[in-house]
Amino acid sequence: MADLDIAGRSALQLAAVMAGGAIDAEAVAERTLAAIRACDDPAIFIRTTPARALAEARAAAHRIRAGRPRSLLEGVPVAWKDLFDIQGFTTTAGSRVLANDPPAARDAPVVARLADAGMVCVGHVNMTEFAYSGIGLNPHYGTPRNAHSPAGDPRVPGGSSSGSAVAVARGLVPVAIGSDTGGSVRIPAAFNGIIGLKTSTGRYPTEGAFPLSTTLDTVGVFARTVLEAAIVDAALCGSGVPALVPGRIAGTRILVPTNVVFDDIEPAVLANFEAALARLQAAGAVIERVALPVFDAVLALTARLGNLTAAEAYTLHRGRLAGPEAAMMDRRVVERVRGGGAVAMPDYVTILQERRRMVGEAAALFAGGAVVAYPTVVHTAPRIAALEADDALFYRINGRTLRNTNLGNFLDWCGVSIPSGTDDAGLPTALLLSGAHGSDDALLALALAAEDVIRGEARALAAR
């Protein structure tokens, strides 16, 4: 037990060594907490929960020894984005403004569900303040460095679930939970080369999670493999074991949009996407390149009437913006949220009405189990220093970063971001598979079958 290295092990690998008696859950928790303390990037975690982690781990170890594990995830560590309530700790949502708020009286329902599955809570991870950016900068708690940053060249982690992605990508924890309103799970997953699952709205309860947009907020999962994301998803749905078998690539229609999502794309992102698409086609997928006018309609509606997320964020934060707390907030967040105040009530209602219509129309795309595929983000992770120094550049890159994923949020799609390769600097790229609202199980089944093909792993290609 003393020599067993747990760093970077996936959730199922950890579960297997605990079940086999090579190490117990308490030792896993102790080593996880020690690795977090020793990490050279203190901006990944905002706070750890050692007393809770060790208590949960002891209970998990007892159940494992007794042969009564609660789930496949018994004893596995998990980290939570700092907008989910953890009993006894203040939820700060990446902000200093909330630092003096009272501790949470109870766990958020999703936190309780993973605790019920036997997972071990190790703490809150960093995030963009109030979850409002796809970049991941945080001037209050520091900006986590992208796990694949070249030496001496720190890159952004992606946001807003920055710490969640980096914690998994660096092997500090095998699973982390984030939120996704405009891409806040899929973007950092893409930038850090891991799996990011964005679920349909309403799949899990969002009570006990600090909101950004009450219309668009969803909960998502970061993991090292699709299988593990699916197992965590099942636990978040309140089920011990996922009723999931791999789908079939052969015969699956994959719609590749010819408009919007390839604008301003970097060559390496495009090359890796096209190579992954070719592998999927070789495995029997039916690739259809089609224009999706609904994408242009979403962008046109936003340009004409305003941003839905900004409008709802302004409603939530308008009191703060009018008082002294605004001076304590990230200036970029303040400026973007204030923009939501320009959305008039009639326009807000029209946006919601048009969204319902577009969601209904777009649902027809998925007839017969079709999915939509395009690059998660059109560029790899940019440099932190450049974006911190130039607000105009930040706003421009943030908009480009969010564009592709935000389309899926507006249309209420579920999605899985899967690594597709790297660029010449070793920075990850990713392919996004999206399905209609409520098709999460079917999408996960397809992603389970397609993951290794998209990654380009030889063992998967040989098997097929």
Cis ω before 95 (30° cut-off from 0): no
Rounded Cα gap, residues 382 and 170, in angstroms: 18
Catalytic residue among 81, 95, 164, 200: 81
Largest Cα–Cα separation, the chain? 64
Angle at which helix 50-65 crosses helix 25-38, to 10 degrees, equals: 150
Catalytic residue among 10, 160, 161, 162: 160
DSSP-H helix ranges across 307-439: 308-321, 331-339, 345-362, 384-389, 391-410
Establish whether 184 is a catalytic residue. yes
User: Which of 262, 232, 294 lies closest to 403 in space, CA to CA?
Assistant: 262
* Assigned token pair, 168: 């998994």
Rounded Cα gap, residues 163 and 176, in angstroms: 9
Angle at which helix 226-236 crosses helix 11-19, to 10 degrees, equals: 80
| Residues belonging to the chain | 464
Q: Where are the beta strands (DSSP E) in 62-215?
A: 77-81, 120-125, 175-180, 195-198
Rounded Cα gap, residues 15 and 342, in angstroms: 50
* Assigned token pair, 158: 């992606």
Establish whether 213 is a catalytic residue. no
Residue carrying the six token digits 């609202």: 437
Rounded Cα gap, residues 163 and 290, in angstroms: 36
Catalytic residue among 161, 184, 213, 420: 184
* Contact predicate 283/249, CB 8 Å: yes
DSSP-H helix ranges across 178-327: 186-192, 226-236, 267-282, 293-305, 308-321
Helix (H) or strand (E) holding 421: strand 414-422
3-state secondary structure (DSSP) of residue 203: coil
The answer to whether the Cα torsion of 13, 18, 22, 23 is positive or negative is positive
**Which residues carry out catalysis?**
81, 160, 184
